[in-house]
Amino acid sequence: MLPDAFYHFKNLLNFLLPLSADALHVHVGLGLFIAVLTLMKDKPQRFVVAFGAVLAICLAGEILDVLYDYHAGNPLRWRNSMKDIVNTMLWPTIWTAASMRQTWRSSTDSVVRAGVGLSASIGLVNRAK
């Protein structure tokens, strides 16, 4: 069963890597984000695509955690799932927001420059009349 295999894989990671579960979520989220960015190279929407990929994998992992707990008869740990999602998405969210802000600024600057050029052109046309 897939939830069982995922649970055992997570336990193996916890055994092999000397990190807390929270730190693993942060590192896995950032690692996946960087991997997708690297694959996307210079595509304009690479940050958004990488963010979406990490979010999809993160949510799939949490669904598998919930299914494992449900089948094992454990109570559902919604608070723990939310903490895992926040830990996994922390750095991808920060980097994507920074990228979007930079993209927005450069597009705004180009619109302003185009507007100044247009105003100058109109001014020249008005002076010629």
Q: Check pLDDT > 80 for residue 105.
A: no
The whole-chain average pLDDT of the chain stands at 85
pLDDT tens digits along 5-41: 998 998 898 899 889 989 999 999 999 999 999 999 8
Considering only residues 74 and 120, tell me which one the structure prediction assigns the higher pLDDT.
Answer: 74
The structure's pTM equals 0.76
Task: Read off the pLDDT band of 122 (50, 70, 90).
Answer: low
Instruction: Provide the H-helix boundaries in the chain.
Output: 2-16, 21-40, 46-72, 78-128
pLDDT of residue 121: 53
Termini Cα distance of the chain? 80
Q: Check pLDDT > 60 for residue 117.
A: no
* Under 8 Å between Cβ of 58 and 87: no
pLDDT of residue 84: 96
Domain spans of the chain, in order of start: 2-128
Considering only residues 122 and 16, tell me which one the structure prediction assigns the higher pLDDT.
Answer: 16
